Amino acid sequence: MMKRKNLTLAALCVPVCIILNACSSQPAQREVHSAAFEPGQLVQSDTNRFANLVMRDNLDGLEILLEKLYRRNPAMWKRRMQPNLEAARVEVMTAIREGQPLANLGDARGTEAIRRALSPEFEGDRAGAYIYGLGSMLVDAWGGHLNLSLVHGLDAQRVANAAHNTMVAAWLLSERRDETEQPLLLSNEISSAGRNLSFEREHGKIIGRLDTLAAVVDEKYRRTIIGYIQSLAGGQLLQFLPLDAAAAAATATTATGN
């Protein structure tokens, strides 16, 4: 009998193992870029970690957008007085990450920098100023930090406003024209030569991450209150009950002291 049971278990395990191996061997369509462990993560909540990953990915997205803009508008990076596109890109992204002002913008950052970049009167590097405006706006929404820990707060409404502003900026980028009705910056393109909507997709990714984070941060405080209430109620509601009547009566007698 025991031998028959072992054979049955073996027969059941074989297809399960085959299924698990098939699932684990599926080719990765898109790799997950998780962050390596660092000691600073020990003082970060789950929401902190999520916000930090959103900031990392959004800055990477802005860097992609900046390179695309420079390639479609090479005159822009040349206005930055750098030897090549790569050096111009590094200058802009370093200014964002280190909280430095950007040349030709003075102290302007955030939405003010975006307005200047897409103003017909602006004579500087529009692409760099535009990305700097978006990047510095994100850093400001994070309270001036790139990485949050337990001592930092994050306002859900500020994050949601940053998502809205990014959507407005993307629309202005595609719509703003000069006096000859030419785009101030070449970005998306739909023409007989082909379709290029990669700028729209990158903006959409940034907006989506921000909207999701805003919802998570807003939910965090609600779940904290709910969790506290559940912990109070759990003392009475989450108790094991005896299965037979005799045991129940004995438990009740012990509880009343009779």
SS3 assignment, position 194: strand
Global pTM value: 0.74
Instruction: Specify the pLDDT at position 241.
Output: 56
Instruction: Specify the pLDDT at position 181.
Output: 92
Which phi and psi angles does 128 have, rounded to 5°?
Answer: -65, -40
Q: Cα separation of 257 and 252, whole Å? A: 9
Alpha helices by DSSP H, listed for the chain, are: 2-24, 46-72, 74-78, 85-98, 110-117, 126-141, 156-175, 198-237, 245-256
Weakly modelled stretches of the chain, pLDDT under 70: 1-44, 151, 191-194, 220-258
Instruction: Specify the pLDDT at position 188.
Output: 84
Instruction: Specify the pLDDT at position 165.
Output: 97
Instruction: Specify the pLDDT at position 9.
Output: 47
Q: Cα separation of 144 and 21, whole Å? A: 46
Q: Which residues contact 142 (CB under 8 A, 6 or more apart)?
A: 51, 55, 148, 154
Q: Cα separation of 234 and 32, whole Å? A: 38
Instruction: Specify the pLDDT at position 105.
Output: 93
Cα dihedral: 96, 111, 64, 128 (round 10): -70
Q: Cα separation of 143 and 164, whole Å? A: 18
Instruction: Specify the pLDDT at position 240.
Output: 57
**Per-residue CA distances from 20 to 6, 8, 14, 31, 72 (Å):** 21, 19, 10, 20, 47
Q: Which residues contact 7 (CB under 8 A, 6 or more apart)?
A: none
